[in-house]
Amino acid sequence: MDEKRIGERIAALRTEANLTQAALAEALGVSDKTVSKWEVGGGYPDITMFPRLADIFHVSCDYLLRGSPRKIQKVAAESVWARTQGKRDFDRINDALAQGWRVLQSALSVSDESGYALVVLEKEIYDA
């Protein structure tokens, strides 16, 4: 976790919410010096405080820890499941799902002898 970036997000959200460091500290049961330390990157909150911070600022814990996604990638996998090709394409889709991709959209068309599936996958990528 990057202490500086987490602190910058906490400071920006606190300012946006019109809260003082003292008010945020009181809501969390810590000192205002502790909040100040977080905001300048001298440390970060205990992991158990992130859900409370997320509730106070109406954001996700994921946003507090990692920020906004840098990039969302999309992949379309089209499969004509003729006897030889279909299983291989669906295996690729299952592999992508196992690597953190999620299904954004899917469509299925079936005719007499063949059909196709279109699956659009997306994955959020964050800066390290």
Q: What is the CATH number of the domain that holds 77?
A: 3.30.70
Coil vs helix vs strand at 106: strand
Taking the C-alpha atoms of residue 71 and residue 60, their distance in angstroms, rounded to an integer, is 18
Range of the domain at 13: 3-66
30-42 pLDDT, tens digit per residue, is: 999 999 999 999 9
65-122 pLDDT, tens digit per residue, is: 988 876 676 666 555 544 445 556 677 778 888 888 888 887 777 665 666 667 788 8
In the predicted model, is pLDDT for residue 64 greater than 60? yes
Q: Which residues pair with 121 in a beta bridge?
A: 75, 103
Query: Are 56 and 104 within one domain?
Result: no
End residue of a domain, out of 39, 66, 93: 66
Query: Are 100 and 61 within one domain?
Result: no
Whole-model pTM: value is: 0.62
